[in-house]
Amino acid sequence: MSKVFPSSKAAVADIPSGVTLLVGGFGICGMPHNLCKALAERAEVTGLRLVSNAGGVDGWGAGLLFEARKVKAMMASRVGPACKAYESQVMAGEVELEMVPQGTLAERIRAGGAGLGGFFTPAGAGTVVAEGKESRIIGGREHILEKPIRGDVAFVRAWKADPAGNLVYRLSAGNFNHVMAMAADLTIAEVEEVVPLGAIPPGQVHTPGIFVRRIVAGEDPGKPIEIRTTRPRQG
């Protein structure tokens, strides 16, 4: 059975309020903008628990979910100025925020996809990150127990997919998408191109189709610059 949906709107049409949503991307590199946009446009959906490296940018990607006030809680590794709605809602206490060290966030999601019960890490030991968590001394160093993260839904972005859902990511755009695709009950992949079944050699598959339930070809291929930095022209 083909997993290809005709549009992002169709692919997210039955997602209810209150779900835990994993959104791929490192910053906005590899972020599934069109799926985020389609969900942000569904007026009845609220109370999302978002897990993402960052909150998108103004008018793009996960930033649209904040602008539409869809997010109740956010688990991330940073709050940046690129999305003013995300920043302002967190600072005003309108969005519950849990900050997680970058590598710990990735590993917690990977643990969720692998079915692990958790892992011990020295990252965050002795800080507010460790509050309320079990700790052990391992190799003479304090480690804290981090529990796995799973989502009800994952939005990921890939370069190519076949109708069976096998995915290929392009270079660094794979980032969090690799682990998030495995860590949700319903994974929806936004891709640049859907190729015929068999066109992707088995050894080049990054995420096997068994983890992917829905595919949609991205309607808007563009990507803005997250943080523009310039220097004065010389001469």
Query: For the segment 58-67, what is each residue's pLDDT rounded down to a tens digit?
Result: 888 999 999 9
With pLDDT > 90 as the criterion, what percentage of the chain qualifies? 80
Q: Indicate whether 232 belongs to any domain.
A: no
Nearest alpha carbon to residue 5 among 199, 191, 196 = 191
Handedness of CA 225, 190, 16, 26 (dihedral sign): negative
With contact defined as beta carbons under 8 Å apart, do 80 and 61 qualify?
Answer: no
Length of the chain: 235
Paired tokens of 44:
């009845």
Q: Indicate whether 190 belongs to any domain.
A: no
Domain interval for residue 174: 8-12+22-108+117-182+210-217
**DSSP 8-class letter at 127:** S
Is 70 exceeded by the pLDDT of residue 222? no
Nearest alpha carbon to residue 184 among 212, 220, 142, 221 = 212
Q: Indicate whether 17 belongs to any domain.
A: no
Q: Indicate whether 193 belongs to any domain.
A: no
Q: Indicate whether 234 belongs to any domain.
A: no
Residue 200 CB partners (closer than 8 Å, separation 6+): 160, 162, 166, 168
Helices (H), the chain: 8-11, 33-40, 63-67, 84-91, 102-114, 177-180
Task: Write down the residue that tokens 């039955």 correspond to.
Answer: 14
Is 90 exceeded by the pLDDT of residue 228? no
Q: How many domains does the chain have?
A: 1
Q: Indicate whether 66 belongs to any domain.
A: yes
Chain-centroid distance of CA 44 in Å reads 22
Task: Tell me the whole-structure pTM to 2 decimals.
Answer: 0.92
**What is the CATH number for 38?**
3.40.1080.10
Which pLDDT value is given to residue 28? 84
